[in-house]
Homo-oligomer: A and B are copies of this chain.
Amino acid sequence: MPKVRKANERNALASGQISNGLQIKGRLWIENEGRTYLSWGRIILLERIGEYGSVSAAAKSMQMSFAHAWHLVEDMNALAPEPLVEKQVGGRRGGGAWLTEAGKRAIHDFLQLVERFQGWIEHESI
């Protein structure tokens, strides 16, 4: 798993060099037929689920409501070619959640894309 990022980082996924005090910033996201599928926040949520083993713990770590996190997971699972997160409801330990192989791959691919974006933006200027 990649290193977990700060949940409250600014929305910018990439930043260019500063020249004349000005800096280019940018962000990327992935849509499926016009609906947001993966974004910076969603990727952090997936990473946290992988770390904590539950949607509620992941949500709490991001100061996100459980309902919102749950909604995001359902939304990603519905938009993904195959589910990214599997969940077990209830049970003695109150259920749990884990990343599928497709989930791990989605994180990896998104972060790779962001890295290439960062490389591009660093060589840009205005």
Contacts and interface: CB of A to CB of B under 8 A. Distances in A.
A100 interface: no
Copies of this chain present: 2
Given A113-B124, A124-B116, A126-B113, A25 B29 contact: yes
Nearest to A28: B26
Interface residues of A, number: 25
A30 B24 contact: yes
19 contacts: A20-B81, A21-B32, A22-B31, A22-B37, A23-B32, A24-B29, A24-B30, A25-B28, A25-B31, A26-B26, A26-B27, A27-B27, A30-B126, A109-B126, A113-B124, A113-B126, A116-B124, A117-B120, A117-B124
